[in-house]
A and B are shown apart, each in its own frame.
Chain A
Amino acid sequence: MAHDTTPSPAAFDELDPHHSGVHASHVIVGPMQLRAVLAVLLVFTAMTVGFAQAEQWASAYFGVVLPHWVNVAGAMSIATIKALLVMAIFMQLKYDNPVNTLIMGVTLAALAIFICFTGMDLFNRSQVYDWKAGPIVAGGTGGQLWGGEGISENKAITTPVGESVALHARNEYLKRLRDKIKATHPELDDAALEAAALAQFEADKAATVGHGHGGHASHADTGNTANRSRPRRGLSGALDTAATGNAHAAPAH
């Protein structure tokens, strides 16, 4: 129709040149659509939890250990889908002025750049450490092969007296145990007292850590039997009072 393509001058409102009117940007998202999105979000939450549980279960009972990136990629993909749904429907970006989507897109791109550059640095630290440590030359004690403070990867948080906070916490607990045992058994000599405190420490540790919350790796760590053993993963054992094995191999279980 003619007047659709060429509106008459009378129909032109200079205060509203694009005929946006009062309601133009008010999109109504109905209850059924909102409920559907909620249902999908809850299902995806169940899926991500189920995925993590299934992975632990496979690892604990069948020894099937999926590569670590599978766990991360699975959980993060599901989270991303959930986030996109919330932004598109609940936050109405799908129906909104595209400028708002552009703002979020640019923000997320900036965030991706931060994380990418952080990752590039992190995954190349070993080269940087090697380079900073300089060439290995004959002589010296070899005690400072990594160059010194500031570039050591495992510099622990320390108390003002230079002790690891975690080690300090452990020693304070042992001190309290020794005091408690001494109060009830004053006849013990220092060696017996120390042994009793350490034994109590291990028993308390098994009672506290052993049950866990059904948290991650809590079952996988109990894989040691008479016929097979699982080596400690990446832990120095520096804070462990037991010579070998892990906390779950302790008695009281």
Chain B
Amino acid sequence: MSTPHATNAASPTTAARWQRYVHGHHWRTQAEEFDGCKLGFWLFLATEVLLFGGIFCGYAIFRVLYPTAWAEGSSALDWKIGAFNTAVLLVSSYTMAMSIYCIQTNKISRARWNLAVTFLLGLAFVILKLALEYTPKWSGYFFVLDPALHHHESMIVEGKTAFFGLFQFVEGYGGKRPGMLFTYPFAVDPQVPVWWAIYYCGTAIHAAHVLIGMTLIARVWHLAGKGVYGPTYYAGVEITGLYWHLVDLIWIFLFPLLYLIH
């Protein structure tokens, strides 16, 4: 079957894969296919905004009902980690956008470098969250290089370490867990477990999105290396970029709501 509308199909023997790309037969042009692809993805992003919207509504409800629990919970978070992670995600959004620019201008190698940096920044975000925030708050184990550890020197339990000695147990710090799992002994407000439930819901669903985004970035990095993307065909990178920017967008709101407003 002939494809009369495959306007950019070059010679199959010499051209790169993006040059040989032929859009679906149900589209009139490749531009329409690209637009349709983006339209569908924006609809998906709308559902994502509504997913996090539910969490933001929950945050608002419990904040109004238990303002003192919110003040107490928020004061247990370190704004420095939150601000650093915000910068990490903002820079990663920039490198993601740069990778699309590079592919549009046929600088595939530079595009892959930008994708790799975006991936590593995402990884840094997740590692910081796990090692410096989730682990100590949930279990009381601090990463030995955590600068916050020296605040708790008097409560260190000597010899009680985990994960090849990389984590040191601090008495009376952990147990800041959601709802029924809460075991932190020094709570002042009885509703503070509700704060931790909202905190873990919001940040863990966000972190799951970071991990999914990293998987998508690794995929387009791999495909870009095989010559799949180029100036006339890069829908995969564009869609991955939109997803990654949404992850950034959600964090732009989570950061002040959790770390800054008190």
Q: Is A75 an interface residue (CB 8 A)?
A: yes
Q: Produce 1/0 per residue, A222-240, CB < 8 A to B.
A: 0000000000011100111
Known contacts being A45-B83, A118-B60, A211-B151, is A166 close to B182, with CB within 8 Å?
A: yes
- Cβ of B188 and Cβ of A247 under 8 Å apart? yes
The answer to whether the Cβ of B2 comes within 8 Å of any Cβ in the partner chain is no
Contact of A26 among B104, B172, B255 (CB under 8 A): B104
A104 touches B35 (CB 8 A): no
Min C-beta distance of B13 to chain A, whole Å:
22
Once the chains bind, are B38 and A96 in contact (CB under 8 Å)?
A: yes
- A107 surroundings in chain B (CB, below 8 A): 46, 49-50
Residue A188 is within 8 A (CB to CB) of chain B in the complex? no
Supposing A25-B35, A215-B74 touch, asked if A71 and B151 sit within 8 A by C-beta, the answer is no
Contacting B at CB under 8 A, from A169-212, are 169-170, 172-174, 201, 204-205, 207-209, 211-212
**A34 near B97 (CB under 8 angstroms)?**
yes
A211 x B188 contact (CB < 8 A): no
Asked if B236 is an interface residue, CB under 8 A from chain A, the answer is no
- Asked whether A239 lies within 8 Å of B190 as measured between CB atoms, the reply is yes
- Which residues of B have CB within 8 Å of A153? 65
Report yes or no: A22 in contact with B30, Cβ–Cβ below 8 A: yes
Which of B31, B49, B173 lies in contact with A22, CB distance below 8 A?
A: B31
Contact A205 B172 (CB under 8 A): yes
Given A22-B31, A239-B188, A100 and B38 contact (CB-CB distance below 8 Å):
yes
Determine whether B7 belongs to the interface, using a CB cutoff of 8 Å to chain A.
yes
The answer to whether A110 and B260 touch across the interface, beta carbons within 8 angstroms, is no
B: residues with CB less than 8 A from A are: 4-5, 7-8, 28-32, 34-35, 38-39, 42-43, 45-46, 49-50, 53, 56-57, 60-61, 64-65, 67-68, 71, 74-80, 83, 86-87, 90-91, 93-94, 96-98, 101, 104-105, 148, 151-152, 154-155, 171-173, 175, 179-180, 182-194, 231-232, 241-242, 245-246, 248-249, 252-253, 255-257, 260-262
CB-CB nearest 6 A-B residue pairs: A173-B185, A216-B262, A215-B75, A75-B256, A213-B78, A166-B187
